[in-house]
Chain A
């Protein structure tokens, strides 16, 4: 036995089994959908959405009650031989956000499928539900995974669930976009797996906790981390590896676009965060953080300009995704921390986490609103949408509210996030990052106002929907947009919830 096995690396907590449920419930749904057939699929999905939301709430409650991370050791096999699941404050925030967004998207999809009773049990709706459940399971597994190989399997599950979402409508161009996405994603998986193998070869463990204790150095370690991060960047679509994203996210059906843009993209970022924060030695982390911040800033500027130039609404929203992902990557140098202050005690850490959550809510809202617009008018050419606010007031409001968050205008989660990041950049002496944040906000204002301007226009011939749009179809986007705005009520200071379960966190304050 290795000395590591003598002192267990992870001790299961009483609420730890909830993490197993979060990962496995959607899998049960996938299997049940295949067993019971298309007619039961939607029912199973809705039941699972409700149950999964309940599990997520239970996890939040358990975390707040105990004030410590939830841990589960699968099968009782201690790492490094076995694997553990663990959810600290940030992971739980991700789990809860995912559950909320998935539930809202599911509600929207159910309403949309109901518009076409003849195809309700057909290929696209049935496949969508199966894929949605698989995406959910994969995301939860990524947010609670503690073992780098287990995380690889979760990433693969995510990829194989996300790629078919792109080409659900079966048009040749979306199949081409899906194929390109698959190529980038598989390249990313391969690089990640290579790095994982190298780490095992060097340290004989893949448990993140044990790896961080090993506090290793050396060329092998740097190469492994570089490979893994490069692979994850291809999946996260950071500039200049973003080429696959706009056609894939814009071509998918609205509900699928929302899943992809709001949630799927966040998983590789989350893993990069874990690698840099919990695995990489401080020196390498600082260096990687610099490189990632430069790419992030380039993403913000380049893709915001691209978003401004798009003629189609969904392509504009997709480019905006790459730009907003850029903000997440400039967090690394800002949240570097110091001797006395760990990274998760900084305001930039809170800002980054808020940006992650608020972007997920706002982007899902935007894509769902765009889906309603496309459903109502049969197209999404921005210039031909003059006066759509009159025809679809709820969707226009949802789009506008979500836009507030993207631009960073109060009151919204995006405002708090960008304000914290800007403050951190100014205090930390990163003037060019501060300038990028400001420029990104202005550009976002430009592309959001283009659409809001169309919504409020009064054309000579009022725009009329080609078919009646039921209210419940518009509701999901509004709820998500309102949630993004409500996030703005979080106080402008390091947020205690996000530090729960982190080692040597300062005074842990339950919110």
Chain B
């Protein structure tokens, strides 16, 4: 029975991927892509990787989809009809993709069995972090440097987006400007956020011991914020505002500060003293969740479109 389900899932994923590659209408393709992200999340749950599944659904399907939809909406008015990739270009891309896929298949089929894994080592070291979820331990302890740098990458992406604003608008507020706010959207934006915030807080909190964590929680928070901005209940903030910037950098700054304190307290950069490792990690995660939510929300909101007020 489960085999049948898995086969159906794989067939569905393949069909959807083909549909996305072939469909002519961009918006249609993006909507299918969002669906693809959700299905892929389902696939990850079948592989017992709940953390990956949650992230795929939130980032792969959710945030990426919204970004693509907004880009498509911006491009639509000036789009020249029929100015898409040439036939030769598509063939070339298809051949390159097929070659990479064949190489991947070759490599994956040649994996040693049982596959070498660090999972036992990650579990063995878990007690000294005070955490229960090995994925969180990898992200915040064993490979904290990767996570810290990733957060900086996220901020850099936002700096890049902001730099696209014209000089006189730089520092001003972005605008999500829907032409009309449909009734259901306004209703959703008024009723959904309390639940969304609750789910986000739960995801972040439970991440220490079970699947969940900062990125997933932050994404849900960002989605709630975007909903409020899209329904025009609250305007997007000016990007030069001190408070906005402090929330943005709060997570990475706390992370870095505790990392440096590790020199004094635990004998090294990004080392935690064993007795207070868990509270430190949860504290970092809390600040990171807020920072991620702000970064993702502002990434979707885009560059400033109104001049900064005096």
From B150, B160, B248, B266, give the contact of A34 (CB < 8 A).
Answer: B248
The stretch of A22-30, A373-381, A473-481, A487-495 that contacts the partner chain: A22-30
Find residues 107-145 in chain B having any chain A CB closer than 8 Å to their own CB.
107-108, 110-112, 115-118, 120-122, 124-125, 141-145
Residue-wise interface mask of A (80-95) relative to B, using a CB-CB cutoff of 8 A (1 in contact, 0 not): 1111000000000000
From A72, A75, A130, give the contact of B144 (CB < 8 A).
Answer: A75
CA distance A149 to B143 in the complex (A): 10
CA distance A171 to B166 in the complex (A): 10
Q: Is the CB of A27 within 8 A of B256?
A: yes
The stretch of A96-104, A201-209, A262-270 that contacts the partner chain: A201-209
Give the interface size bracket for A toward B: 35 or more
Q: Is the CB of A203 within 8 A of B116?
A: yes
Given contacts A83-B145, A150-B145, A194-B100, contact A201 B108 (CB under 8 A): yes
Residues in B neighbouring A141, C-beta threshold 8 A? 149
From B111, B144, B271, give the contact of A201 (CB < 8 A).
Answer: B111
Given contacts A31-B253, A219-B110, A226-B103, contact A204 B167 (CB under 8 A): no
From B111, B116, B124, B160, give the contact of A1 (CB < 8 A).
Answer: B124
Asked if A137 is an interface residue, CB under 8 A from chain B, the answer is yes
Asked if A168 is an interface residue, CB under 8 A from chain B, the answer is yes
Interface of B is mostly: helix
Residues in B neighbouring A1, C-beta threshold 8 A? 120-121, 124
Residues in B neighbouring A122, C-beta threshold 8 A? 167, 170
Find residues 316-347 in chain A having any chain B CB closer than 8 Å to their own CB.
none
Chain B nearest CB, measured from A10 CB (Å): 13
Residue-wise interface mask of A (136-164) relative to B, using a CB-CB cutoff of 8 A (1 in contact, 0 not): 01000100000001100110110011011
Residue-wise interface mask of A (258-292) relative to B, using a CB-CB cutoff of 8 A (1 in contact, 0 not): 00000000000000000000000000000000000
From A31, A81, A156, A223, give the contact of B122 (CB < 8 A).
Answer: A81
Least CB separation from A190: chain B residue: B100
Residues in B neighbouring A223, C-beta threshold 8 A? 103-104, 106-107
CA distance A185 to B167 in the complex (A): 27
CA distance A194 to B146 in the complex (A): 17
Q: Is the CB of B146 within 8 A of A149?
A: yes
CA distance A450 to B224 in the complex (A): 60
Give the interface size bracket for B toward A: 35 or more
Asked if B69 is an interface residue, CB under 8 A from chain A, the answer is no
CA distance A98 to B155 in the complex (A): 23
Given contacts A31-B252, A75-B268, A123-B170, contact A134 B152 (CB under 8 A): yes
Residue-wise interface mask of B (248-265) relative to A, using a CB-CB cutoff of 8 A (1 in contact, 0 not): 110011001001101100
Chain A nearest CB, measured from B47 CB (Å): 13
CA distance A502 to B293 in the complex (A): 44
Residues in A neighbouring B153, C-beta threshold 8 A? 153, 156-157, 160
CA distance A75 to B280 in the complex (A): 14
Asked if B177 is an interface residue, CB under 8 A from chain A, the answer is no
Find residues 264-279 in chain B having any chain A CB closer than 8 Å to their own CB.
266-272
CA distance A1 to B164 in the complex (A): 50
Least CB separation from B272: chain A residue: A75
Q: Is the CB of A198 within 8 A of B108?
A: yes
CA distance A175 to B165 in the complex (A): 12
Asked if A170 is an interface residue, CB under 8 A from chain B, the answer is yes
24 inter-chain pairs at a CB distance below 8 angstroms, sorted by A residue, are: A1-B120, A1-B124, A27-B148, A27-B149, A31-B256, A34-B248, A35-B253, A37-B242, A72-B268, A74-B144, A75-B262, A80-B118, A81-B118, A81-B121, A123-B165, A123-B170, A130-B159, A149-B146, A194-B104, A198-B108, A201-B108, A202-B110, A205-B118, A220-B110
Asked if B23 is an interface residue, CB under 8 A from chain A, the answer is no
CA distance A357 to B66 in the complex (A): 44
Asked if B188 is an interface residue, CB under 8 A from chain A, the answer is no
Q: Is the CB of B107 within 8 A of A123?
A: no
Residue-wise interface mask of A (184-212) relative to B, using a CB-CB cutoff of 8 A (1 in contact, 0 not): 00000001001000100111110000000
Least CB separation from A26: chain B residue: B152
Find residues 40-98 in chain A having any chain B CB closer than 8 Å to their own CB.
72-77, 80-83
Binding site for B on A (CB under 8 A): 1-2, 5, 12, 17, 20, 24, 27-28, 30-31, 34-35, 37-38, 72-77, 80-83, 119, 122-124, 127, 130-131, 134, 137, 141, 149-150, 153-154, 156-157, 160-161, 163-164, 167-168, 170, 175, 191, 194, 198, 201-205, 218-220, 223-224, 226-227
Residue-wise interface mask of B (162-185) relative to A, using a CB-CB cutoff of 8 A (1 in contact, 0 not): 111111001100000000000000
Binding site for A on B (CB under 8 A): 100, 103-104, 106-108, 110-112, 115-118, 120-122, 124-125, 141-146, 148-150, 152-153, 155-157, 159-160, 162-167, 170-171, 240, 242, 245-246, 248-249, 252-253, 256, 259-260, 262-263, 266-272
From B152, B165, B270, give the contact of A75 (CB < 8 A).
Answer: B270
Least CB separation from A201: chain B residue: B111
From A5, A76, A134, give the contact of B271 (CB < 8 A).
Answer: A76
CA distance A73 to B145 in the complex (A): 11
Residues in B neighbouring A150, C-beta threshold 8 A? 143, 145-146, 149
Residues in B neighbouring A119, C-beta threshold 8 A? 167
Q: Is the CB of B263 within 8 A of A77?
A: no
Q: Is the CB of B269 within 8 A of A17?
A: yes
